[in-house]
Amino acid sequence: MTEIAESTPSAPRTQSVTTAAAGPGRQSSARVFFSSPSTIVLLAVLFAMVVFSFLGPLVSQSPSDTGFTVLSPPNGANLAGTDSLGRDLLSRLMIGGQVSLFVGAAVAVICLTVAVTIGGLAGFYGGVADAVLSRVSEFFQVIPGIILALVAVAMLGASLPLIIVILSLTMWPGVARIVRAECMRIAELGYVESSRAAGFRPLRILWSDVLPNAFPPVLVATTMTIGRAILAESSLAFLGLGDANAPSWGALLYEAQAYMQSAWWLTVFPGVAIFIVVLAANLLGDRLNDSLNPTLSRVK
Amino acid sequence: MNIAWAMHALRVLLSSLLLILVVIIIMFTLLELAPGDPVQSLVGQVPVSEAFRAEMAATYGLDRPLPERFLSYVGNLLTGNLGYSYANRQPVVDLIVARLGNTLVLTLPSLVISSCGAIVLGAFAARTRSRAADGTVSFLAVAGFSLPGFWLALLLIMFFSVNLGWLPAQGMSSFASSGISPTHLILPVIALSASELAFKTRIMRSTMIEVLGQDYIDTARSKGLSPFQILRRHGLLNSMLPMVSVIGFSLGYTIAGAVTIEKVFGWPGMGSLLYSSIQTGDNLVVMGILLVLTITIVIVNILTDIVYGLVDPRIRARMRTRRGADA
Amino acid sequence: MTDNPFVDSGDPIPLLQVDRLGVRLPTGRRSFVQAVRSVGLTVRAGERVGIVGESGSGKSVTVKAISGLLPESPLVGIEGSIRLAGQELVGAGRAAWQDVRAKRIGMIFQDPSSYLNPTMRVGAQVRESLLAGRGSGRGADETYRFLELAGLPDAREVAERYPFELSGGMRQRILIAIALAKQPELIIADEPTTALDATVQRQVLRSLDESVDALDTALLLITHDLAVVAGLCDRVYVMYRGEVVESGTTEQIFLEPQHEYTKELLRCVRSLSDDSTDLYVSSYGAR
């Protein structure tokens, strides 16, 4: 099956990130990227959500205070309404944000680390790392990671560390594939050969020459991973598999189901929060991808 | 049929079996790692009789060493014995089979809709000269897969069922009738298709842009063909080939999405069975579903491979001849 | 051959007349490069003209402008005049260009591995050109004729193949056949042998030579290889940085180069052999 897939320009399960030009072109891409108004807006949105989640609780109600009227719609005291236990939804959204954002970031960081290591070795050296990576990523391309994660969390118990580990396990191959492709591409370029000829040890070449240039597409893949991780965690939480002590936005939606008809705010707000963050992350990844690959090829 | 084809078929078969084996190993590992009493972790939070406990211990070799446990586990699976769901009082196999059809009724239309829609929208976005049109489609696509599927389902219910009362909110059919009523299908299928439609549209678009940027399109232009002729004769097949693989893979992801969607709509399929089994800790059922899912996905992949071999003319040509390039 | 090739010796209107051609290409969202500055050239019916220059000299862009194969983006700017048998093409509408491409100008591209549709049989690709050029009703036999003309004797068998099944030389001949099949007035060959191995290059050029002869078409040949020009062309234009810096008959260019750049080009060629006349006569045979 992979034999056929390799002989055509087939798209990987992760976003089809095309490779970037290494070298001097990169500086100007960074400038283009950061100067674009849409990028600034997106970064601002993400930053705002982080501030909301982590600094918001300093100025809002306590999330566990059940003193408010049960199931009341958004009003002066409770900007997002209250839930079935009389808790202020807005402050619960903040706490939920801490969990969701943390999971997204943690999974992305872990994926990045593992992917860079294994993908870099695979792309540069080939051999065992390459074989392992190919098998594993093929596996996760076919079997949806979310199902495995679902089953694993269900059977092993839903705790935040476990969820993060399992989600990372299912998502790193996608990023690693991109790292590998980039390393292979860069290894073909001239200046790696000259470093090799100059006698630098391969590992050092990998670290100082290859990986930094592989960085941009890998950054794009990592950004996309954040969005996917947040969505995956929300799905798990929605099915009751979130960490009970760390309710994320998904967990809020889990609680909201019974009140779909009577309390729309319980369903709408957490979902909007997820949507905004994931959308911003994905759009950022797209912008980043576009700025690395000027779409002049569209001029036809 | 020559050697090359046979080798390829063998390779596909072997990797499929390997895949199933890996999933079985994963399931077994999870069972071993699951906290608590091994029998309880198999049947869930229901109290079991001593007799049943003894029976389980015998069937699954629970008091034997690890390798034997693994072998008896695999042995059971191979004989089609997926276990007995104590909570449901049925063999797991029967339980799953009863639900499988319902899930397919949901996932197959979603697959068709998301695939066809993606091809049309992706091709449109790739070819349109209007940056606004392309930008809109692209943006909607990103929005589509940034949306949690189950949240979309909830919103659809809130809007179309609760508010407008146009479409039913739950179940496959109304109380009076049995079977599946079309109006009950609408909202779940929409919710299920959205994410895959968005994802595949992006892929189709970028594939087609890449294809239309190829050199052989210039050759086609040099023949004085109209843009439509160029698209139809040179652009279409080359764009569709990667899409065949993408569509094949997407079945697995569609079924994965069905888990939450079925739960939201109370749709009695494998997905909601998975959910309820998770709630009660009935892990025999959970793993049975995982296995059935894996096998389904593997079968679909083999079919995709076959379809691809039929659609790509080069593969048929490669199989005809044994020679490569002439001098 | 008279001294001044621009004095007309027969037909009143040259087949191709390009004057003051300028092409501006976008290199980013807001930046441009003037790929071709003010180029003028003439090709008469049945004539063989070569354009030489290094990469970046604008020769490819020039012929793409002539054959209407520049990107169809509004960012691309073309000015000047391109007249095909008197008909002005710059600013002409899409239908006019399509007609020109289908029937009157045939293009042979440079890289046989990427300029053929990988999932279409080569015979079908040639037939497509045939039908577009001459209308429907032509059988497969016509296709075989052009394949043979391009130097592929087992036409019947080759036509059923896919590009991946053919060697580089054979694929290039398919590209030649595609250009021939529409029986154009002018064939433009953009570095037709650059992507091929040295041994194959000669054979393919011979096929090109013979087929252009057989159809009595005019040929505009782009190359950076002066040896190729020596064997195939009556007249030569030398391009450098988007402009024509020198032109003349092949003999004039080789024996009496005026411009520094031309001399430089010749020096490079000469350094490969002791006797320059040897190279001029070359194994393609004196023209």
Q: Distance from A229 to chain B by nearest Cα, in Å?
A: 11
Task: Name the burial class of residue B62, with classes exposed (0-12), middle (13-18) and buried (19+) by CB atoms within 10 angstroms of its CB.
Answer: middle
CA A185 from chain centre, in angstroms, equals 24
Per-residue pLDDT of C120-131, as tens digits, reads 999 999 999 988
Q: Is the Cβ pair C76, A300 closer than 8 Å?
A: no
Which residues have a Cβ under 8 Å from the Cβ of C216 and sit 6 or more positions away? C46
Domain membership flag for residue C283: no
Interface contacts (B, C; CB < 8 Å): 90
Q: What is the ipTM of this complex?
A: 0.88
C-chain residues within 8 Å CB-CB of B222? 67, 69, 101, 105-107, 109, 179
CA atoms B107, B109, B115, B120: torsion sign: negative
- Lowest-confidence segment of A38-47, A258-267, B168-177, C235-244 by average pLDDT: B168-177
Q: Is the Cβ pair A296, C76 closer than 8 Å?
A: no
Interface contacts (A, B; CB < 8 Å): 165
Q: Distance from C36 to chain A by nearest Cα, in Å?
A: 18
A-chain residues within 8 Å CB-CB of C72? 300
Which residues have a Cβ under 8 Å from the Cβ of A214 and sit 6 or more positions away? A120, A179, A182, A183, A186
Domain membership flag for residue A23: no
CB B185 within 8 A of CB B191: no
Per-residue pLDDT of A68-91, as tens digits, reads 788 888 877 778 888 888 888 898
Q: Considering CB atoms only, which of A5, A146, A154 is closest to B245? A: A5
Answer whether B233 touches C (CB < 8 Å).
Answer: yes
Would you say residue C31 has pLDDT above 90?
Answer: no
Instruction: Give pLDDT, residue C106.
Output: 92
Q: Is the Cβ pair C76, A299 closer than 8 Å?
A: yes
Per-chain mean pLDDT for chain C: 83
CA dist list (Å): B111 to A240, B119, C70: 27, 12, 40
Domain membership flag for residue A6: no
The angle at the Cα of C190, spanning C185 to C192, to the nearest 5 degrees, equals: 105
Q: Is the Cβ pair B325, C129 closer than 8 Å?
A: no
Q: Is the Cβ pair C119, B312 closer than 8 Å?
A: yes
Answer whether B312 touches C (CB < 8 Å).
Answer: yes
Of A169, A168, A159, the residue nearest A99 (C-alpha): A159
- Please state, in angstroms and rounded to a whole number, the distance separating the CA atoms of residues A51 and A74: 21
Domain membership flag for residue C10: no
Would you say residue C208 has pLDDT above 80?
Answer: yes
Of C47, C134, C128, the residue nearest C99 (C-alpha): C134
Per-residue pLDDT of A192-231, as tens digits, reads 677 777 777 767 776 776 767 777 888 899 999 999 999 9
Which residues have a Cβ under 8 Å from the Cβ of C214 and sit 6 or more positions away? C149
The set of chains that have 3 or more CB pairs under 8 A with A is B, C
| Residue C7 pLDDT class (50, 70, 90 cuts) | low
Strands C16-26 and C77-84: antiparallel
Q: Is the Cβ pair B326, C166 closer than 8 Å?
A: yes
Rounded to an integer, the average pLDDT of B25-39 is 82
The set of chains that have 3 or more CB pairs under 8 A with B is A, C
Q: Is the Cβ pair C119, B241 closer than 8 Å?
A: yes
Q: Considering CB atoms only, which of C100, C103, C116 is closest to B219? A: C116
Domain membership flag for residue A138: yes
| Residue C283 pLDDT class (50, 70, 90 cuts) | very low
Would you say residue A14 has pLDDT above 70?
Answer: no
Answer whether C146 touches B (CB < 8 Å).
Answer: no
Per-residue pLDDT of A259-298, as tens digits, reads 888 888 899 999 999 999 999 999 999 888 887 775 544 4
CB C162 within 8 A of CB B317: yes
Domain of residue C127 covers 16-275
Tell me the residue ranges of DSSP E strands in C27-157: 32-43, 48-52, 77-84, 87-88, 105-108
Q: Is the Cβ pair B224, C101 closer than 8 Å?
A: yes
| Sheet of C186-190, strands arranged across | C105-108, C186-190, C218-223, C48-52, C235-240, C243-249
- Please state, in angstroms and rounded to a whole number, the distance separating the CA atoms of residues A32 and B317: 47
- Please state, in angstroms and rounded to a whole number, the distance separating the CA atoms of residues C269 and C277: 11
Domain membership flag for residue C5: no
CB count, 10 Å around CB of B143?
16
Domain of residue A156 covers 32-58+84-294
Beta-bridge partners for C248 = C236
Top-confidence range, A291-295, B212-216, C229-233: B212-216
Would you say residue C137 has pLDDT above 90?
Answer: no
Which CATH number is C237's domain given? 3.40.50.300
Rounded to an integer, the average pLDDT of B162-191 is 77
C-chain residues within 8 Å CB-CB of B218? 69, 109, 115
Tokens of A213: 């240039």
Strands C218-223 and C186-190: parallel
Domain membership flag for residue C27: yes
- Please state, in angstroms and rounded to a whole number, the distance separating the CA atoms of residues C146 and B81: 66
Strands B84-85 and C32-43: unpaired
Q: How many domains does chain A have?
A: 1
Would you say residue B88 has pLDDT above 50?
Answer: yes
Of A278, A289, A294, A263, the residue nearest A83 (C-alpha): A263
Tokens of C96: 């006019």
| Residue C278 pLDDT class (50, 70, 90 cuts) | very low
Q: Is the Cβ pair B252, A297 closer than 8 Å?
A: no
CB C49 within 8 A of CB C62: no
CB B234 within 8 A of CB C117: yes
Tokens of C112: 């046989």
Q: Distance from B58 to chain A by nearest Cα, in Å?
A: 22
Of B200, B176, B317, B319, the residue nearest B254 (C-alpha): B200
Percentage of residues of chain C with pLDDT beyond 90: 26
Domain membership flag for residue C282: no
A-chain residues within 8 Å CB-CB of B253? 144
Q: Distance from C256 to chain B by nearest Cα, in Å?
A: 37
Domain membership flag for residue A103: yes
Return the SS3 of C24: strand
Q: Considering CB atoms only, which of C103, C129, C162 is closest to B314? A: C162
B-chain residues within 8 Å CB-CB of A249? none
Which CATH number is A162's domain given? 1.10.3720.10
Answer whether B220 touches C (CB < 8 Å).
Answer: yes
CB count, 10 Å around CB of B85?
26
CB count, 10 Å around CB of C31?
8
Q: How many domains does chain C have?
A: 1
Of B173, B41, B165, B50, the residue nearest B102 (C-alpha): B173
Beta-bridge partners for A247 = none
- Lowest-confidence segment of B183-192, C129-138, C235-244 by average pLDDT: C129-138
Give the A-side interface with C, CB within 8 Å.
294, 296, 299-300
| Residue C6 pLDDT class (50, 70, 90 cuts) | low
Domain membership flag for residue C167: yes
What are phi and psi for residue C41, nearest 5 degrees? -155, 160
| Residue A60 pLDDT class (50, 70, 90 cuts) | confident
| Residue C277 pLDDT class (50, 70, 90 cuts) | very low
- Please state, in angstroms and rounded to a whole number, the distance separating the CA atoms of residues C106 and C179: 4
Q: Is the Cβ pair A9, B31 closer than 8 Å?
A: no
B-chain residues within 8 Å CB-CB of C61? none
Would you say residue C135 has pLDDT above 80?
Answer: no
Domain membership flag for residue C9: no
Q: Distance from C284 to chain B by nearest Cα, in Å?
A: 22
C-chain residues within 8 Å CB-CB of B314? 118-119, 162, 164
Task: Name the burial class of residue C80, with classes exposed (0-12), middle (13-18) and buried (19+) by CB atoms within 10 angstroms of its CB.
Answer: middle
